[in-house]
């Protein structure tokens, strides 16, 4: 790997400038190589071996081991990969939640053991943001915390799916100020045995010279206090990760492939790379997360190494046919591409994409119901748009701007009897796409199929919930019908070999 920042860091270490904590962020194949170079340089200068830990269940024993050995060994370098400690965007919010669990405290009374622990969490949160606990009135100090720390962390979200309201945050700040005042009275320093606190102390020089900790992480929140502090010290390096673009391509793939080729000594054709990515890489399951699912990225690397071992015996390269032969297709099937195939009356392609999405799901049954919920909602909207187009004799419209002015108001108008219109709160462009699908289904056969959708959806739901031995067949039948297959039976035939 030739990353200028990593090269400079290694050179700096070899020149005697060694820091206690380093962080390398990027896809694990790439980040691990860079972190290993840094750890190796540190160990070479200190005259020791590197102790490596991958995906540790917790960091506390590792940190305790590093600190304990510092009493006996002249040097120790520890490399931790994929711990995810820096990826938690709510670290400070979780600490505040823990502190809030002991609130309120009695004014003037000595803190109980629970109160002292809560005070420690509050002081720790303040330290993460470099806010001096004794700099001003308690209320002003607590108010210096960013809104994200007061909105609510994991504990709060278990009780409520919403952030704290403005009133709730004001009450929390008041009670935390009382806790901080009590902590000052008892001269608490705020150190705790938590991982974040220990890491913060290491950044400040807790470790003796010759001891160091290096992290290789897939993701790190730029707003994470420790990440910011490491960036300021120039010991944080971003070597790049993989991420899906709007067209379904994967950015950052070249760096990962180059590293795998260097590691295995076996190259791969460009077409084979794209096919391997298509069959393995998936988007994260959690909403709001970017990048590529960690397990699928690990599978991409694992499949590459497996194929490299196979073709190495033949002194060859990995080509597309090798990928197609050796790698099962468990890649990400974009649900919107599937919905487009349904809207555009491509039943065979829609059924194929549905199978691929179900095949790639971690929980097939759960994915059936997730897709069914989305699809049933689409069917309802399609039926409303089709009914309006027929009853109002609305013409097909391919121009979005003309659609917005001439058709959209009629489609989203209040329904007879004051009933709620399912299209009223849908984004205009989405309504446009639904209307296009409805306009293409004005022939008698398609109109009859749409008219029968409520019954078909009900029957499919019954089959998915236990009325059928094959939920996939039930769902495929509905998809084939709506996509233009004409009858539910075509979905049954589509699954037959």
Please count the structural domains in the chain.
Answer: 3
For 86, residues 6+ apart whose C-beta sits below 8 A from its C-beta are 23, 25, 215, 217, 219, 220, 221, 224, 226, 227
249/287 same-domain check: yes
When the pLDDT of each residue in the chain is averaged and rounded to a whole number, the result is 83
Res. 321: pLDDT tops 90: yes
For residues 317 and 268, is the Cβ–Cβ distance under 8 A?
Answer: yes
3-class SS at 374? helix
280/153 same-domain check: no
CA-nearest of 82, 15, 79 to 51 is 79
pLDDT given at position 159? 61
Give the C-alpha separation, 451 to 446, whole Å: 9
Res. 37: pLDDT tops 90: yes
44/30 same-domain check: yes
- Would you tell me how many other CB atoms lie within 10 Å of the CB of residue 110? 11
Give the C-alpha separation, 88 to 149, whole Å: 12
232/266 same-domain check: no
Q: E strand or H helix at 214, and its extent?
A: strand 211-217
235/253 same-domain check: no
42/109 same-domain check: yes
pLDDT given at position 75? 85
Give the C-alpha separation, 58 to 428, whole Å: 48
- Where is the domain boundary, 294, 326, 358? 326
Alpha helix locations (H) across 47-137? Answer: 60-69, 91-100, 113-128
103/204 same-domain check: yes
* Residues forming beta bridges with residue 142, ordered by sequence position: none
- Where is the domain boundary, 239, 274, 291? 239
CA-nearest of 117, 122, 161 to 144 is 122
Question: Would strands 236-240 and 50-54 be described as parallel, antiparallel, or unpaired?
Answer: unpaired
Give the C-alpha separation, 124 to 484, whole Å: 60
317/359 same-domain check: no
How do residues 186-223 score in pLDDT, each as one tens digit?
877 554 446 777 788 888 877 877 889 999 988 787 87
For 417, residues 6+ apart whose C-beta sits below 8 A from its C-beta are none
How do residues 397-424 score in pLDDT, each as one tens digit?
889 999 999 999 988 888 777 778 888 8
Alpha helix locations (H) across 360-427? Answer: 364-391, 400-406, 408-411
Tokens of 111: 């803190």
**What are the CA-CA distances from residue 111 to residues 118, 179, 192 (Å)?**
10, 9, 16
User: Furthest-apart CA pair in the chain: how many Å?
Assistant: 87
205/277 same-domain check: no
**Rounded percentage of the chain residues whose pLDDT exceeds 90:** 23
Give the C-alpha separation, 6 to 11, whole Å: 9
Q: What is the DSSP string of 128-191?
A: HTT--TTSS-HHHHHHTS-HHHHH--HHHHHH-SSPPPHHHHHHHHHHHHHHHHHHHHTT----
**What are the CA-CA distances from residue 246 to residues 107, 251, 336, 342 (Å)?**
56, 10, 12, 20
Give the C-alpha separation, 160 to 162, whole Å: 5
Higher pLDDT, 359 or 309: 309
Burial class (CB in 10 A: 0-12, 13-18, 19+), 309: exposed
48/157 same-domain check: yes
- Where is the domain boundary, 209, 239, 269? 239
- Would you tell me how many other CB atoms lie within 10 Å of the CB of residue 475? 25
Phi, psi dihedral angles at 285 (to 5 degrees):
-75, -35
Within its chain, how far is the Cα of 285 from the centroid? 6
Give the C-alpha separation, 66 to 63, whole Å: 5
320/339 same-domain check: no
Length of the chain: 497
pLDDT given at position 495? 43
CATH of the domain at 265: 1.10.8.60
Res. 23: pLDDT tops 90: yes
Give the C-alpha separation, 374 to 362, whole Å: 18
296/411 same-domain check: no
The DSSP symbol for 82 reads: S
Res. 87: pLDDT tops 80: no
pLDDT given at position 487? 44
Average pLDDT over residues 455-477: 83
Domain region containing 149: 1-239
For 11, residues 6+ apart whose C-beta sits below 8 A from its C-beta are none
């Amino acid at each position: 790997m030739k990353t200028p920042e990593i090269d400079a860091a290694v050179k700096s270490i070899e020149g005697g400038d060694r820091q206690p904590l380093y962080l390398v962020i990027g896809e694990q194949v790439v980040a691990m190589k860079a972190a290993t170079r840094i750890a190796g340089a540190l160990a070479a200068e200190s005259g020791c071996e590197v102790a490596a830990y991958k995906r540790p269940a917790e960091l506390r024993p590792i940190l305790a081991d590093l600190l304990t050995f510092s009493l006996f060994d002249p040097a120790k370098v520890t490399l931790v990969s994929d711990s995810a400690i820096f990826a938690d965007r709510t670290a400070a919010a979780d600490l505040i939640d823990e502190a809030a669990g002991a609130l309120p405290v009695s004014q003037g009374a000595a803190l109980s053991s629970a109160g002292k622990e809560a005070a420690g969490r509050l002081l720790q949160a303040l330290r993460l943001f470099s806010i001096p606990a004794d700099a001003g009135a308690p209320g002003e100090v607590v108010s210096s915390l960013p809104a994200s720390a007061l909105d609510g962390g994991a504990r709060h979200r278990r009780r409520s799916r919403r952030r704290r309201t403005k009133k709730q945050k004001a009450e929390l700040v008041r009670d935390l100020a009382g806790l901080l005042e009590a902590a000052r009275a008892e001269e608490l320093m705020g150190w705790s045995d938590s991982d974040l606190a220990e890491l913060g102390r290491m950044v400040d020089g807790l470790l003796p010279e010759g001891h160091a900790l290096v992290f290789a992480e897939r993701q790190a929140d730029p707003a994470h206090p420790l990440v910011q502090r490491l960036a300021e010290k120039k010991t944080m390096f971003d070597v790049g990760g993989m991420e899906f673009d709007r067209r379904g391509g994967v950015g950052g793939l070249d760096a990962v492939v180059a590293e795998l080729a260097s590691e295995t000594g076996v190259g791969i054709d460009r077409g084979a790379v794209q096919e391997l990515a298509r069959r393995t890489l998936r988007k994260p399951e959690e909403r709001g997360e970017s990048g590529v699912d960690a397990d699928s990225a690990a599978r991409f690397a694992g499949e590459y190494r497996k194929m490299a071992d196979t073709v190495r015996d033949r002194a060859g390269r990995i080509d597309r046919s090798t990928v197609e032969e050796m790698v099962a297709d468990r890649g990400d099937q974009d649900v919107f591409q599937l919905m487009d195939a349904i809207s555009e009356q491509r039943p065979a392609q829609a059924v194929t994409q549905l199978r691929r999405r179900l095949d790639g799901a971690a929980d097939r049954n759960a994915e059936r119901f997730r897709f069914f919920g989305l699809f049933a909602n689409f069917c309802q909207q399609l039926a409303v748009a089709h009914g309006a187009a027929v009853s109002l004799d609305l013409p097909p419209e391919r121009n979005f701007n003309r659609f917005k002015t001439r058709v959209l108001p009629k489609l989203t108008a209040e329904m007879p009897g004051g009933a709620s219109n399912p299209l009223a709160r849908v984004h205009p462009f989405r309504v446009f796409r639904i209307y296009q699908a409805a306009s293409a289904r004005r022939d008698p056969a398609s109109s009859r199929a749409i008219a029968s959708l409520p019954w078909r959806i009900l029957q499919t739901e019954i089959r998915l919930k236990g009325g059928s031995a094959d939920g996939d067949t039930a769902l495929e039948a509905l998809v084939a019908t709506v996509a233009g297959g004409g009858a539910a039976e075509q979905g049954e035939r589509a699954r037959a070999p």
